[in-house]
């Protein structure tokens, strides 16, 4: 369709000259036609109420859907049920078996995951797929919400016109083809960093690793959220996450996750873990908006699973954070006894009853050592 045929578009239900915004719809259709959007694409997009976003959707799409799940399984030589499990593990909607749902790019991606099945076994490949899927979902959500909030025309209801929204969708979608290069390089760096953390204290059993694990959470954050605007709250949380990420990386650790107003991190050594926690306590104390923070640290054998860590030591660190006061770093006694006395000052001991632990736990507060007198 090289030129606008309003009669044809009206017949297909894409244009109504009597509509109150007929001029706006016509401008959108002219823009789409000028950018080589076909009638079939417009009809399909309009059916899903996504006509202004059809250009962006075209760029984001991994390709034309041309293969059924049976055809995918046949091409990559694995069972159909294995394809289903891998697809679901990626967090994607299970396709209708009778419909062509998969693109050539989908087939290549699933073929790579089938190689992972040969290396790790299917349970291991599914674990890898779950981790990839959950991580990519978070990245996608971040990119999308940034577009809505930060890109002019990105939010349809506030866009100057449907054409402005269509233009914003098309422009921001062009980031998608570059994502592979960004993910590839970033993954390689993180893989190398993970290897160094493990090699710093090689475990006897690969199902566990000896690390220090810390928690830090903002005290009074719920009350604060009722006094700030959405923009102010989002800005403060973004700052907190950014500083936490940078601080853990600089000290050789890893920010495992941000859970609302709480972070969890791991480091190869307790000294590095205390440095991270104290850095964050000092930063939050100086922040003009955020309330005080409390932190904790425990060390021992952790069980890694899908990028997270589990086990009694993690539970202990979490419970210690709950027991800490605002502005305080609370650590286990074994960590307190191991710290460099030139860098840290150990406070008094506390005998604590922690939820989920039968025996009382001895913990100590830790502060940074001041300059010598």
Residue 366 has pLDDT above 70, yes or no: yes
| Mean pLDDT, rounded, for 50-69 | 90
| Mean pLDDT, rounded, for 73-100 | 91
Residue 113 has pLDDT above 90, yes or no: yes
CB 89 within 8 A of CB 129: yes
What is the share, in percent, of the chain residues with pLDDT greater than 70?
98
Distances (CA, A) of 348 to 214, 262, 278, 351, 360: 20, 25, 17, 10, 16
- Using alpha carbons only, how large is the chain's radius of gyration in Å? 27
- pLDDT at 259 (0 to 100): 81
Residue 1 has pLDDT above 50, yes or no: no
Residue 372 has pLDDT above 70, yes or no: no
Residue 348's φ and ψ, nearest 5 degrees, are -70, 160
Which of 240, 241, 242, 244 is CA-nearest to residue 253? 244
Residue 373 has pLDDT above 70, yes or no: no
Residue 206 has pLDDT above 90, yes or no: no
| Mean pLDDT, rounded, for 313-327 | 94
- pLDDT at 303 (0 to 100): 92
Please list the residue range(s) of the chain that carry CATH number 3.30.70.1230.
203-368
C-alpha to C-alpha distance for 199 and 224, rounded to whole angstroms: 42
C-alpha to C-alpha distance for 190 and 321, rounded to whole angstroms: 27
Residue 68 has pLDDT above 80, yes or no: yes
Mean pLDDT of all residues in the chain?
A: 89
Which of 342, 333, 249, 236 is CA-nearest to residue 293? 236
- pLDDT at 2 (0 to 100): 54
Assign domain 203-368 one CATH number from 3.30.70.1230, 3.30.470.20, 3.30.70.1450, 1.10.3720.10.
Answer: 3.30.70.1230
Residue 266 has pLDDT above 60, yes or no: yes
Query: What is the tens place of the pLDDT at every residue in 13-28?
Result: 998 999 998 999 999 9
Query: What is the tens place of the pLDDT at every residue in 117-170?
Result: 999 999 999 999 999 998 888 888 888 888 888 888 887 788 888 899 888 888
| Mean pLDDT, rounded, for 260-268 | 90
Task: Kindly indicate the confidence band of residue 69, based on its pLDDT and cuts at 50, 70 and 90.
Answer: very high
- pLDDT at 347 (0 to 100): 92
- pLDDT at 371 (0 to 100): 59
pTM of the entire predicted model: 0.72
Query: What is the tens place of the pLDDT at every residue in 212-258?
Result: 999 999 887 777 777 888 777 778 888 888 899 899 988 889 999 98
Range with lowest mean pLDDT among 3-7, 52-56, 276-280: 3-7
């Amino acid at each position: 369709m090289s030129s606008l045929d309003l009669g044809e578009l009206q017949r297909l239900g894409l244009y109504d000259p009597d509509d109150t915004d007929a001029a706006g719809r016509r401008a959108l259709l002219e823009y789409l036609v000028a950018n080589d959007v076909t009638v079939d694409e417009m009809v399909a997009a309009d059916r899903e109420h996504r006509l202004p976003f059809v250009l962006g959707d075209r760029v984001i799409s991994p390709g034309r859907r041309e293969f059924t799940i049976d055809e995918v399984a046949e091409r990559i030589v694995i069972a159909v049920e294995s394809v289903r499990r891998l697809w679901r593990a990626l967090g994607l909607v299970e396709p209708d078996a009778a419909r062509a749902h998969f693109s050539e790019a989908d087939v290549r991606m699933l073929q790579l995951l089938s190689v992972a099945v040969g290396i790790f076994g299917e349970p291991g490949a599914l674990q890898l797929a779950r981790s990839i899927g959950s991580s990519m979902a978070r990245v996608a959500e971040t990119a999308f919400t940034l577009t809505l909030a930060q890109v002019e025309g990105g939010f349809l209801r506030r866009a100057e016109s449907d054409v402005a929204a269509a233009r914003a969708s098309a422009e921001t979608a062009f980031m998608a083809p570059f994502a592979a290069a960004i993910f590839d390089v970033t993954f390689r760096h993180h893989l190398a960093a993970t290897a160094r953390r493990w090699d710093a204290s090689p475990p006897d059993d690969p199902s566990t690793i000896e690390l220090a694990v810390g928690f830090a959470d903002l005290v009074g954050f719920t009350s604060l959220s009722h006094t700030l605007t959405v923009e102010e709250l989002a800005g403060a949380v973004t700052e907190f996450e950014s500083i936490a990420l940078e601080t853990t990386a600089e000290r050789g650790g890893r920010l495992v996750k941000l859970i609302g107003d709480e972070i969890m991190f791991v480091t190869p050594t307790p000294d590095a873990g205390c440095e991270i926690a104290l850095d964050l306590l000092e930063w939050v104390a100086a922040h003009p908006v955020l309330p005080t923070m409390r932190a904790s640290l425990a060390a021992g054998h952790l069980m890694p699973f899908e990028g997270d860590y589990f086990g009694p030591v993690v539970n202990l660190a979490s419970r210690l954070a709950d027991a800490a006061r605002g502005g305080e770093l609370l650590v286990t006694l074994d960590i307190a006894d191991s710290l460099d006395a030139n860098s840290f000052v150990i406070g008094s001991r506390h005998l604590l009853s922690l939820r989920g632990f039968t025996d009382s736990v001895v913990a100590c507060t830790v502060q940074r050592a001041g300059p010598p007198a």
